[in-house]
Chains A and B, each alone.
Chain A
Amino acid sequence: MAQALLTAQSLFCERDDRILFDQLQLTVSEGEIWQVEGRNGSGKTTLLSILCGLSSHYEGELYWRGEPMDEVREQFLSELLYIGHQTGVSAMLTAEENLHWQCALHPSLDASRAQQALESVGLKGFEDVPAHQLSAGQKRRIALAKLYMSRAKLWILDEPFTAIDKIGVAAKEALMVEHIRAGGSVIMTTHQDLSAEIPLHTINVEHFASSQREWS
């Protein structure tokens, strides 16, 4: 029986007078890939930022390995890899410098694999180029290089494949499969169709958009 990693119970979130979701339940266990679905503006990004702990605009409970999130936040963060809409790549730093600081922030990233990771995402030869001279896809690939260096249990990825070509996507898919085989799990959003071979769980945010909430 795979262990439950991240559990969300009765999540409720409203933005600008609109209920994005209510009574949202989600249990992400070891070895699972979850795709969050929904149209633009339905609250996918909001859900991801709640799950990773960036946003506190919600009601409901979050658990990490069965423990209330507030009590184990540090543990949770040390097992988390998050790549957001904004990739966290500084335009004025080179790919190498960017990864270097990311490693200092996140001990779950293996700094010794940085070179190899940059090579794997096809940035070999671009290590010393400031990111602002790279294309949008190349910039994103700097962030995606972290996937190759990560020892984190849970990956939360918000539209990771924007501006990434087919071959790149396939490589990341293979990486994700490898990750879940090793007992990790992934929560992600994407507009692209993933390969049918990936065992995918899906959750549609819009299914939780209507609310029978009793306003207290």
Chain B
Amino acid sequence: MASSWLPRWFYQLASPRWCYSITGKLIPWFAAIGGLLFVIGLVWGLAFAPSDYQQGNSFRIIYLHVPTAILAQSFYMLMAIAGAIGLIWKMKVADMVAKSVAPLGAALAVLALATGAIWGKPTWGSWWVWDARLTSMLVLLFLYLGVMALNSAIESETTAAKSTAVLALVGLVNIPIIKYSVEWWNTLHQPATFKITEKPAMPAEMWMPLLVMVIALYLVFGLAMMLRLRNEILTRERRAGWVKELLGS
């Protein structure tokens, strides 16, 4: 089924065993570098970056809000692409990746919404505003919840993986349309509101720590994903010789 033009690592990745061992080696690095960058980014952003001339210190939640929002979106993409690979090449590991990513993505979307709400209180004076980005993020959370609900409703693991992959792909096609329509709807209903996330020219002292935080969160949530993936691998391959050996039974 799979053709030979694909690189070798692609096939290796297809082996749960190989995947388990490689993630085992990667985890300490992700933990160390991710943790370090997280601390650096947080301290830098919260204590040393200059405060905003309009919003003062309350803007500093940007260092959590923006990275979680970015990650929530890219995790959805990861989930859909992994699902597609699982569908096309019948690759078990890809299904497992898709399954382990979903709850993390949903958690990220919740975090992005929560930080957005915390930011909204001092800025707009209310916890929730139907701002375009927050609304899109809310819809993204709904999409995640749909995928997770479908996955848990189907008993057979293989069927669940395939069904959720189709749903995630449909969602992926829809995300740009949803984003566009929500943004358009927002400008229609709230002309010229003050957009917190669209600072035209953010000085380097402000965005550098933001960049660090984005990378840090990628590593931390990548780590979380690998931990979940390894659990998933062990559960699904529980009858495999190497898993039995590993667990010492």
Contact = CB atoms under 8 A, between A and B. Distances in A.
Contacts of B17: 216
A61 to B, nearest CB: 11
Contacts of A74: none
B156 A57 contact: yes
A142 to B, nearest CB: 30
Nearest to B158: A57
B182 to A, nearest CB: 37
Interface string A203-216: 00000000000111
B135 to A, nearest CB: 39
B156 A214 contact: no
A215 B1 contact: no
Interface stretch (B37-45, B194-202, B206-214, B237-245): B237-245
A18 B53 CA distance: 66
Nearest to B239: A215
Contact of A214 (B158, B241, B243): B241
Contacts of B12: none
Nearest to A216: B240
Contacts of A57: 156, 158-159
Interface in A64-111: 70
Contacts of B243: 215
Contacts of A70: 1
Nearest to B156: A57
B237 A215 contact: yes
Given A57-B158, A215-B239, A216-B240, 10 more contacts: A57-B156, A57-B159, A70-B1, A214-B241, A215-B237, A215-B240, A215-B241, A215-B243, A216-B15, A216-B17
Interface of A: 57, 70, 214-216
A-B interface, 10 closest residue pairs, ranked by CB to CB distance from nearest = A215-B240, A215-B239, A215-B241, A57-B158, A216-B240, A214-B241, A215-B237, A216-B15, A216-B17, A70-B1
